[in-house]
Amino acid sequence: MADFSWDVRSPLDRALVVGPYGAQGDAGLALTEIRDFDLVQVMARRGKAGAMTKATKAHFGVAAPETPKAVAAADATLIWSGPDQFLVLSKGGRHALEMLAPVFAGSASLSDQSHARALISVSGDKARATLAKLSSIDLHPGVFGVGAAAATSMDHTSVTLWRGRDRSGLAVFNLLVFATFAESLWHTILDSAAEYGVTISHSEEFA
């Protein structure tokens, strides 16, 4: 009997080269792929928004976002993804689909997206300048504050974007991008940021 290993590979596994990229000197941008997460799409059933909200509150201790926001629960982030729906993002194994199924039984339909996306964290002085080349959203701090989220597009590709907690006084933007587009979009981000200098890394730590 053959011996199999079921090793996982991030869709950015090949494209991501840890280290500096682009202009030399102080990097304007830090680009980090976050690996090992669970991501579940939760969609309320017809007329069951109230029940879904209640279930969310009971399970996560926070209400599900009803507007484009990312809400931090103890060990998960609930990210609005459309009317009557949100994504549950958690470290791998925390809130997997099977664990959430009983929570939302009857109130919402669940769909596993854990492998459908890559998660990229964008930060640094030039984070906004870089994202302005990719996103038509206004990311001014007065408009897109901590916890703001958007279901939007970058480079004609759907993404989920939200602002995490600031790090060292600088804004952190998180991006969920579709896995099969991830490598392509990654290169586009690098091209956009090359003039500022980029530090590339990956991590299993959640911001």
**According to CB under 8 A, which residues from 40 to 69 bind other proteins?**
41, 43-52, 67-68
Which position among 114, 125, 202, 207 is part of the footprint of other proteins (CB under 8 A)?
A: 114
Q: Of 83, 93, 102, 145, which one interacts with other proteins (CB under 8 A)? A: 83
Buried b (16+ CB within 10 A) or exposed e, 129-166: bbbeebbebebeeeebeebbbbbbebeebebbbbbbee
Q: Rank residues 7 and 74 by Cβ distance to other proteins and give the closer one.
A: 7
- Among 17, 136, 168, 169, which residue sits at the site for other proteins (rule: CB under 8 A)? 136
Q: Indicate the Cα dihedral angle 9, 135, 174, 16, nearest 10°.
A: 30
Provide DSSP, 147-160: TBEEEEEETTEEEE
Q: Which two tokens stand for residue 45?
A: 């059933």
Burial 98-109 (b: 16+ CB within 10 A, else e): eebeebbeebbe
Does position 158 bind other proteins by CB under 8 A? yes
Query: Both tokens of residue 22?
Result: 């682009």
Stretch that binds other proteins, among 26-34, 70-78, 107-115, 162-170 (CB under 8 A): 107-115
Closest approach, Cβ 62 to other proteins, in A, equals 19
Q: Tokens for 43?
A: 């969609």
Segment 159 to 198, residues that bind other proteins, using CB under 8 A: 178-181, 183-185, 187-188, 191-192, 194-195
Task: Using CB under 8 A, pick the residue from 16, 22, 65, 119 that binds other proteins.
Answer: 22
Contact status: 140 vs other proteins (CB under 8 A):
yes
Q: How far apart are CA 150 and CA 23, in angstroms?
A: 30
**Amino acid, res. 11:** P
Among the listed ranges 25-33, 119-127, 129-137, 162-170, the one in contact with other proteins (CB under 8 A) is: 129-137
Number of amino acids touching other proteins (CB under 8 A): 71
Minimum CB distance to other proteins, residue 54 (Å): 10
Q: What is the SS3 assignment for 91?
A: strand
Nearest distance in Å: CB 74, other proteins: 25
Piece of the chain touching other proteins by CB under 8 A; list 70-78, 115-123, 165-173, 199-207? 115-123
